[in-house]
Amino acid sequence: MIRHRIRLVLALLAVLAVALVPASKLEGQAGKGTIKIATQSPLSGGQAALGEGIKLGAQLALDKLKGNLTKQGFKVELVPFDDQAKPDVGVANAKNIIADKDILVVIGHLNSGVAIPSSEVYKEVDLAMISPANTNERITDRGYPNISRVCGRDDVQGPVGAEFAAQTLKVKSVYVIHDKTTYGQGVAEAFKADLEKKGVKVVAFEGTEEKSNFDPIITPIKAKNPDLVYFGGIYDQAAPFFKQAREKGVKSKFLGPDGIDSSDLVKIAGKAVVGIYYTTAAAPSTSAQAKQFGDDFKKKFGKNPEPYAAEAYVATAIALKALESAATGGKVPTRAAVATAIRKVKYTGMTGSIEFDDKGDPKKASYYVMQVSNDNPEKWGENKEAKRLAIAAPPLKK
């Protein structure tokens, strides 16, 4: 009987102790749910350098900026997915992503050819995707309300390259090669079309999936001897091509799009690519904010950020702002509510000011023409800026 009374007293004391704890503290301990942000980018294979940069840029933003959501009682996590730069892998990942109800935003992809089919899956459930790097116009020209991007477009980037080739480099003949992907062929076609409008002769336009032996392409290039060779594709294919072309005696100037904007270009090709030009929608690391980002990134991850790591940081910062706005009443928001909130975010940071238009493009995006300054991968961020333009996104094509 005495033991029973002791247990009863102890139980009452325990209840009283819980009752005296502030409700806010209990609420924080219990949590209001988990919010996950996924990334999709190549984390293995030849394009892993840029893909890893996207993942780590997003991770840095989450670690630095999730505080407001955490204070509201939410657990916030990053969930990285490796799409291997392959459309079928991206789509398979996308199906797993939408099955996880805690994932409310996707930051990705690197490759437009992966992003477009994967985003068709996200659209089924109104899951927001903010792209840090996809420049193909179809990303946003489909008019999906859940798809946005923080970078520019190939139908602008291509003409920026053509303008530079014609007006600054003053070339008269160009040989155009692309990698047969949605991205590479798309930007090459945009470059070619604008170049021809300017009266520059395109002596050849061809696609190749070759990765190692480029002799069948280099031989006709030497025969035609163009002023410029343009390669529409990614650095893992462009670097060995440029290197072999120089070794075989091709004297033409070289130009490419943002797919070759990676320190791995000089890791692979070395001195052969010093002096070549590339257009990019990735902001160079010259502003004070960008330099601070680079310092923070290197301190946390032990290496310099690759191009589009900063854009991944910005995309994640926008996602977090939208999540804070949509999480009204302390409840985990719906995916549709987050997608709607993203379009309303006005963000100013290291890549400039971003405000989305009605199709999810930045109302104005910056485009850069850069020149490779040296063959040291650690100094990729020191490449010379040859030209900078801020250009409004084209209206939605009817």
* Type of residue at 103: I
Phi/psi zone of residue 37: left (φ > 0), alpha (ψ -120 to 50 degrees), beta?
beta
- Say what the pLDDT of residue 13 is: 44
CA 40 to chain centre: 10
Residue 130 domain-assigned (yes or no): yes
Helices 215-224 and 235-247 cross at an angle (nearest 10°) of 60
- For residue 310, give the H/E element and its range: helix 309-326
316 vs 246: CA distance, rounded Å = 40
The residue with tokens 């302390």 is 330
Same domain, 242 and 385: yes
Counts for the chain of helices (H) and strands (E), in that order? 15, 14
Q: Longest Cα pair distance anywhere in the chain, in angstroms? A: 105
Cβ(231)–Cβ(238) below 8 Å:
yes
Beta strands at 228-232 and 173-178: parallel, antiparallel or unpaired: parallel
Residue 11 domain-assigned (yes or no): no
Same domain, 271 and 347: no
- Counting every residue written for the chain, the total comes to 398
- For residue 174, give the H/E element and its range: strand 173-178
CA 23 to chain centre: 42
Number of domains in the chain: 2
Same domain, 388 and 257: yes
- Say what the pLDDT of residue 285 is: 79
Residue 203 domain-assigned (yes or no): yes
The DSSP string of 42-99 is --SSTTHHHHHHHHHHHHHHHHHHTHHHHHTTEEEEEEEEE-TT-HHHHHHHHHHHHH
The residue with tokens 């996104």 is 393
3-state helix, strand, coil in the chain (%, to 5): 50, 20, 30
pLDDT digits (tens, 9 = 90+) for 248-266: 999 999 999 999 999 999 9
Same domain, 187 and 321: no
- Say what the pLDDT of residue 220 is: 97
Which residues is 347 bridged to in the sheet? 354
Residue 272 domain-assigned (yes or no): yes
Same domain, 149 and 159: no
Residue 27 domain-assigned (yes or no): no
Residue 307 domain-assigned (yes or no): yes
59 vs 36: CA distance, rounded Å = 12
The tens place of each residue's pLDDT in the chain, 398 residues long, gives: 444 444 544 444 444 443 444 444 433 444 689 999 999 999 999 999 999 999 999 999 999 999 999 999 999 999 999 999 999 999 999 999 999 999 999 999 999 999 999 999 999 999 999 999 999 999 999 999 999 999 999 999 999 999 999 999 999 999 999 999 999 999 999 999 999 999 999 999 999 999 999 999 999 999 999 999 999 999 999 999 999 999 999 999 999 999 999 999 999 999 999 999 999 999 887 778 889 999 999 999 999 999 999 999 999 999 999 999 999 888 999 999 999 999 999 999 888 899 999 999 999 999 999 999 999 999 999 999 999 999 998 888 76
* Type of residue at 323: L
- Say what the pLDDT of residue 169 is: 97
CATH of the domain at 323: 3.40.50.2300
Range of the domain at 336: 32-153+285-362
- Say what the pLDDT of residue 27 is: 38
Same domain, 39 and 135: yes
Same domain, 229 and 378: yes
- Say what the pLDDT of residue 1 is: 47
- Name, in order, each residue with C-beta under 8 angstroms of 299's C-beta and a sequence gap of 6 or more: none
Same domain, 90 and 136: yes
281 vs 366: CA distance, rounded Å = 6
Same domain, 272 and 388: yes
